[in-house]
Amino acid sequence: MAEVLLFHHAHGLTSGVLDFAEELRRAGHVIHVPDLYEGQVFDDLDEGVAYAQGVGFGSIMERGRAASDGMPSELVYAGFSIGVLSAQMLAQTRPGVRGALLFHACIPTAEFGGAWPQGVPVQIHGMDADEYFVDEGDIDAALALVQATPDAELFLYPGDQHLFADRSLPSYDEPAATLLTERVLGFLRNAG
């Protein structure tokens, strides 16, 4: 059993993120899903991104850091898209980390102090034609992380959807999401 701190994407804490968390719970894991948007949920991705920009990405990450206060250090940090900011920051800076799951995004490790922590496994998941993942440099950060870290894996899925693992969104891709979930459950069995 693993304990996971899971951060939502720019739409906010959607029913799809909660469904994903529940699926991991049914497999025996302890999943915490903080609401970094303080109750705001957006149907439109651009509106959600605008909200995060208005609050400030630094403030969103601080909310993520605050969500980890008082929790055990032996966590797996996971994030969907904008939630990767908090997940990756905590995975790279908090001692005792058991692993990281980065969905639809990856940040250059230099943003959070340099190299990935030794011995901390990480999975990165994205679609091979997702304009956000590919065109905005996330895939380059993911490839660099995999090249520099023996415990890093990158999984590319065919398609162009960004948030393909959230079943409450039109971008949901059931075959890709099912495979992502299988891979995540395997990762968590090893991290527990």
CA 117 – CA 147 distance, rounded (Å)? 14
Q: Which two tokens stand for residue 93?
A: 């800076």
How does residue 113 score in pLDDT terms, banded at 50, 70 and 90?
confident
The rounded distance, in Å, linking the Cα atoms of 87 and 97 is 11
* pTM for this model (two decimals): 0.96
Return the ∠ at Cα 85 (arms to 127 and 100), rounded to 5°.
70
Least confident of 38-42, 107-111, 112-116, 180-184: 112-116
- Smallest CA-to-CA distance from 64 within 41, 40, 43, 94 is with 94
Q: What confidence score (pLDDT) does residue 130 get?
A: 97
pLDDT tens digits, residue range 30-77?
A: 999 999 999 999 999 999 999 999 999 999 999 999 999 999 989 999
Split at pLDDT 50, 70, 90, the class of 114 is: confident
Domains of the chain: 3-191 (3.40.50.1820)
**pLDDT computed for residue 191 by the predictor:** 87
- According to DSSP H, which parts of the chain are helical? 15-26, 45-55, 57-68, 83-93, 138-148, 174-191
Phi, psi angles (nearest 5°) of residue 105: -165, 160
The share of the chain scoring above pLDDT 90, in percent, equals: 95
| Inter-residue contact 117 to 89 (CB < 8 Å) | no
Assign 79 to helix, strand or coil: strand
Contact by Cβ (8 Å): 38, 59: no
The pair of structure tokens assigned to 154 is 């990158």
